[in-house]
Chain A
Amino acid sequence: METAEKTLDEILSLAAAHFKVPREKLSPDDDFFKTLGIDSLQTLDLLTKLESHFRVELPDYELQGVSDFRTLAGKIQARL
C-alpha cells in the first residue's frame, strides 16, 4: 500500500507532466485550479488520469469543494 506522502508526490508529478507545469512550481497546499489554470473539461481529464494511475474510482461528488493537492491525495489514499 502506498503511503500518503508517496500518493501526494505522485499526484504532483502526474499533474505537472499532464499540464506541462514544472514539478517544482507545485506545492501540496496549492489550489490546483489556480496553479494549473485548468477549466472544467481539464479537471475531468485530471480526474481520469488520477483514476487510471491509482486504479481507483473517484466519484466526483466526493471531490466537490476539493481544490488543493493534499486533500485530493487524502481522498485517493482512502480508496487505495
Chain B
Amino acid sequence: MKSPGEMVRGEAMSYATKDGVVELALHRAPCNEIGSLALEELEAFSHELESLERSAHALIIYSDLQSGFCAGADLRELYQRSQSMDKAAALKGVRDFLERIHRVLNAIDATPLTTIAAVHGVTFGGGFELALTCDLIIADKMARFCFPELRLGLIPGFGGIPRLKRDLGNAVVRDLLLTGRSFNAAKAQQIGLVSQVVSEGEALRAARAAAAQIGKFDRQTAAAAKRFIKPVPHEELRQEIDIFCELFAHPTVEAGLKKFVESTDPQPYLP
C-alpha cells in the first residue's frame, strides 16, 4: 500500500494522490500504445485502487504526451508476437490479453471514485475505450476520437462497443463503428460522449476543477449514484471477447496488421 501523495512511477504511466484526487498520467511514447508493459502497469494500478479509494474521491486519467491521450492497442507488438508463434498459441495469447485488460478496465469502470478522462489529441481504439470507462470525459478541442478496428478485420476489443451502447444511441454507435471515421471533440460533445470541451492544453486543469467540485459531495452518496446510473455491462463484455477472438482467427486480420505495421501512408489508420 502506498502512502497518500507518494508518486508511483512506471515506464508507461505514473500515479499519485493529491487533495483526494488520484491522477494517473500516461507517458509512454509514441502515443501510449497499450501493449504488455502498459497492461502490467495498469494491472498494478488497479490492484492499488482499493487502497487508493480509502483516501480519495476522484480519479483523473490523462496523458503527459503531446501526441495525444492514447492511440490504443500496441499493434506492432501484437503483430510481432503473433508472428513468433503458431496460430493456436497466438489466439490463446490474445484471449489472455483481453481477459486481463477487461479485468483492469472493469475495475476502473466500477470504482466508487468519480472518474474523469482528460483527453487531447489522438484518442483512438483502446485509448477511446479507456476513456469510456470513466464517468466523465473532458476534451481538449483538438482531441480526436476513432474506432478504426474494422480496417483490421476486427471489432474494438477493450470493451468499447458495450460501453458506447451504454452511453449513446445505437444509430450513433453504428456510425462510429461501421464507418471507422474519426471525429472531433465538438462532435463528441454533440452526441453526448464528452461533457466539456475546453481550449488547447486545458483539459487537465478543467478535470482538476471538476474533481474539486465532486470532492464537496458525500463520497458514499456519489458512489451510490454512480452504481445506480452506470452498471458495468458484464454479459456484453464477455460476448465482445468471444467475437474478437473468433474474428482474430481469420487470415484477413494478419494481413491487416501487416499492412498497418508496414504502412508509410500519412493516414495509416484508414482502411
Contact = CB atoms under 8 A, between A and B. Distances in A.
Interface in B124-153: 141-142, 144
Interface in A43-74: 43-45, 47-49, 51-52, 57, 59-61, 63-64
A67 B186 CA distance: 25
A52 B67 contact: no
Contact of A52 (B141, B182, B268): B141
Interface string B98-112: 000000000000000
A33 B121 CA distance: 19
B72 interface: no
Given A41-B68, A60-B270, A48 B144 contact: yes
Contacts of B68: 41
A3 interface: no
Contacts of A2: none
Main secondary structure of the interface of A (DSSP, over half): helix
B55 interface: no
B122 A60 contact: no
A38 interface: yes
| Range for the number of chain A residues in contact with chain B | 10 to 19
Contacts of A45: 121, 142
Nearest to A50: B184
Interface residues of B, number: 24
Contacts of A47: 144, 182, 184
Contacts of A24: none
Given A41-B68, A41-B121, A41-B122, A48 B184 contact: yes
Contacts of B122: 41, 44
Nearest to B30: A41
Contacts of A48: 141-142, 144, 184-185
Interface of A: 33, 38-41, 43-45, 47-49, 51-52, 57, 59-61, 63-64
